[in-house]
Amino acid sequence: MAETVTADKFIDISNEVCPMSFVLTKLALEELEDGQVLELICGAGEPVRNISIQLKDEGQTIISVKKEGEKHFRLQIKKND
């Protein structure tokens, strides 16, 4: 997860819980074209676990993961239609 690119859209869902985190991520991805990159910040632990599972299930590609302090993760997701 080394490559970090300039994201096309950014959302901060670190204060959201399911299902809002799910819906906001979905809506953000819907605004992007195939191949564009979404960057998001979410909470460590269950939130990042759920986001990761969700994105994998949908066939999205997580291109970079960075831990931000102890409490947050910054993810970059390349949209696959």
Chain residues binding other proteins by CB under 8 A are 1-2, 44-46, 48-49, 52-53, 55-57, 62, 65-67, 73
Q: Which is nearer to other proteins, 20 or 53 (CB)?
A: 53
Nearest to 75 by CA among 19, 18, 7, 26: 7
Residue pair 3/25 in contact by the 8 Å Cβ criterion: no
Q: Which of 18, 23, 27, 53 is catalytic?
A: 18
How far is the C-alpha of 73 from the C-alpha of 68, rounded, in Å? 5
Q: Which residue number, 18 or 27, has a Cβ lying nearer to other proteins? A: 18
Catalytic residue list contains 18: yes
